[in-house]
Amino acid sequence: MEKTGTSINKLKTINLLLLPGLIGIILSLLRSQMGMTWAIVIIPFLLILLVQTIKEPITLFFFIFTLNYFVMGISRYVDISGISFLMDTLMASTLVLIFIHTALLRNIEWSYAINILTIGCFIWMLYCLAEIYNPSGVVKAWVLSRGLAINGIVIALIVALLFNKYKYVKHILFTLAIFTLLACAKAFMQRSLGFDYAEARWLNNGGYLTHLIHSGTRYFSFFTDASNFGSNMGCAGVIFFITACYFKNSFLKCFYFIVSLLSIYAMFLSGTRGAMVVPLAGLALFAIVSKNYKILTISGFALLVIYVFFAFTTIGEGNQQIRRMRTAFRPTEDASFNVRKENQKILAAHLKDKPFGEGLGLSGGENKDISIRLTTMIPNDSWYVKIWVETGIIGLILYLAIHFLVIVKGCWILMFKVKNKELKGVLSGFLCGIFGMFISAYGNPFWGQFPTAIIAYTGLALVLKGEYFDKEIERLKEKNKTYGTISLNGK
């Protein structure tokens, strides 16, 4: 009776709040004040989000994850200044909420904050902070490159501390699947209906140089560019294919298989040759992680067939996407590949006496407005070339060592610590997909762009917490067995 009374009181409160809102909407519509109408509609949702966020900080992370996926697409239609600052503020707010919950409610277990990813990212952050003393550095460039230094450690901490239930892992997986479908749908629309006014404007402002080329149109959905889009779709294809193989739920198994297939097709629409590496590298790692000779044999055979198809046949040459992807298997015949190699030789000569690099934010044509020098006159055609130029050979070795150690530790956890098959499938999907993107980043500088970085570090942090989730699943199973026995005895 008490619960019923509480529910009735809640309904009365909601109705009292809705009434003035509806009156406000009607009055603002009658006066043609659309700004006021939208404010009245949106403000209640923002208030609900705020209350829910204070109660459960993980809500804010899901909001960040959502905004991170769509923000670059939105920026083509709406002038959003200070995107990086907005994301930094939201992540800092999440950390503040975590500290508040720790101090007042003591419901955050900080022991999970210590793992190889957070330690590695912390060391990398310190190295990047020390780059301010680089003699050839520029303070403004260093400040604008803060994301390179702090994003990894912040995301790794937030995920390690807030994802304390396996259900949250499934939620983030399903959320990513929905976002992937939307990204695929946008690319299909671009191909079938053409580019809209905002996309055409972006192409006219210089995007056409790399997207409307002689080998065909490269579609980019609502991502920063086709390279970023293609690599993310390749990653999604791996994540959802492996996940589908392990799920028992028939609906989700079929759903994730469909998402995987559409993702791979969208990857081809991007025309990004480097994206081909993502599913190939992901499949190769999965063959090892699975510890299954049958999967190892099938995966090895599949890789061989794919390589032979693209490298030694002309099948499907009439299709522009297949034709363009095929050039990735014949790099020496590709003019752009040869230009990249020449650029790297020039940079190597320039950096010979700079073991700590040129300085953060001082590479690639996008930074010419900060400082015009050799390193900002040569485009960043690789994420690792960017790391090498800005932080030197020492920084590059440190960066690669940290990430490869994290991946190796993730493999070890999945191979020897995680027993639950569904959990192993989900986490293997994340690790293999992210590994594929990490390898692909050699040919494209997309790793630090929206939405890649947050997706990648979220996935890695979840994999490293695999043993925790496995124990949680086992505890729930034991609890269900116990209650089941009590129930039977009661009868």
Of 436, 433, 350, the C-alpha closest to 385 is 350
- Distance, in Å, from the CA atom of 242 to the CA atom of 298, rounded to the nearest integer, reads 14
The whole-number pLDDT of residue 470 equals: 96
Domain boundaries along the sequence of the chain? 116-490
Question: Is 356 in a helix, a strand, or coil?
Answer: coil
The whole-number pLDDT of residue 38 equals: 55
CA atoms 481, 482, 483, 486: torsion sign: positive
Residue 216: which H helix or E strand, with range? strand 216-217
The whole-number pLDDT of residue 23 equals: 60
Instruction: Supply angle C-alpha 225, 230, 233, rounded to 5.
Output: 125
Instruction: Give backbone dihedrals phi and psi of 403, rounded to 5 degrees, phi first.
Output: -70, -35
Helices (H), 271-292: 277-289
The whole-number pLDDT of residue 258 equals: 98
**pLDDT tens figures, 51-78:** 777 889 999 999 999 999 999 999 998 8
- Distance, in Å, from the CA atom of 480 to the CA atom of 429, rounded to the nearest integer, reads 28
The whole-number pLDDT of residue 26 equals: 60
Q: Please give the chain's pLDDT, 491 residues, in tens.
A: 444 555 555 444 544 445 565 565 565 555 555 556 555 556 676 677 677 778 899 999 999 999 999 999 999 988 877 888 889 999 999 999 999 999 888 889 899 999 999 999 999 999 999 999 999 999 999 999 999 999 999 999 999 999 999 999 999 999 999 999 999 999 999 999 999 999 999 999 999 888 998 778 999 999 999 999 999 999 999 999 999 999 989 999 999 999 999 999 999 999 888 899 999 999 999 999 988 777 778 777 777 887 788 777 777 777 777 777 777 676 666 667 778 889 999 999 999 999 999 999 999 988 888 999 999 999 888 999 999 999 999 999 999 999 999 999 999 999 999 999 999 999 999 999 999 999 999 988 899 899 999 999 999 999 999 999 999 999 988 887 776 544 444 44
Helices 226-246 + 277-289 axis angle, to 10: 30
Question: Is 365 in a helix, a strand, or coil?
Answer: helix
**pLDDT tens figures, 146-169:** 999 999 999 999 999 999 999 999
